[in-house]
Structure 1
């Protein structure tokens, strides 16, 4: 378990980054402060496994982003519509908010994956980029790179293993 001093140092080092990330998502300083506080509580509860996290800053950015998105969803649910005329506007706002939330979640995840794969070989990076960023099929990737489909699948498997090893999908302490 982290000692109080090292946890305090971590808070001091990353507090500002987490706050600005939350403000960027929530567009409200008070809600951002709430989100940061909730995120630190999550981190504190998860601290036993923090030693296993290689890129603490990226992990914390993901925690605060997802916490802010959760807070945004909670705020959205708590709104009440007073007039029938506002219903259409409210529904439009909710749809736009959901779209933004999904986009931010995808963007954060892709940033984490990119950071993780920068350690991988250029061959693995190329195959992963063509498959998941460009949307190529395995056969197309094999043809463009001049390799077999089996090699494509192997490189994709290795990329997934790197991502799992970094704990991108297993790191959520209730986030």
Structure 2
């Protein structure tokens, strides 16, 4: 049987047996969607690549601990999101206050609104707002899950989302 035809369970078992073709198949099946999730959180192509690489190292290192209570994709996505958030926290700590305020500036996106402009507006949000917004509105997590992953309270998650939406509305107001 080819690795592409393997079920999720067969693929996991083959990966646990150190089958390199199965490991490549697992990466190929999930890397594109996971890169997208990492990029939406980090807003940086190179950082998203780093997150993806770091996350897949964790995935392969801890695959034996996957209890199969959820889908493999959901488990992988949790690792990618947590890795991205961890990297963002490290990046924010490394930024100077001046750099942080610079990211908060409004960007001129031209004369009409489309998906690219909306994506740019989301990417222009401060990191905390963007992380909560993407996790809840794009990835579909609940406030409780976001709060646990980010190490914040549910109230803070709700507040960050409120201010993210307010900032987006203000940025996109001229396109209504």
| Length-normalised TM-score, structure 1 | 0.50
Higher Rg of the two aligned structures: 1
- Bigger RCO of structures 1 and 2 (CA < 8 A, at least 6 apart): 1
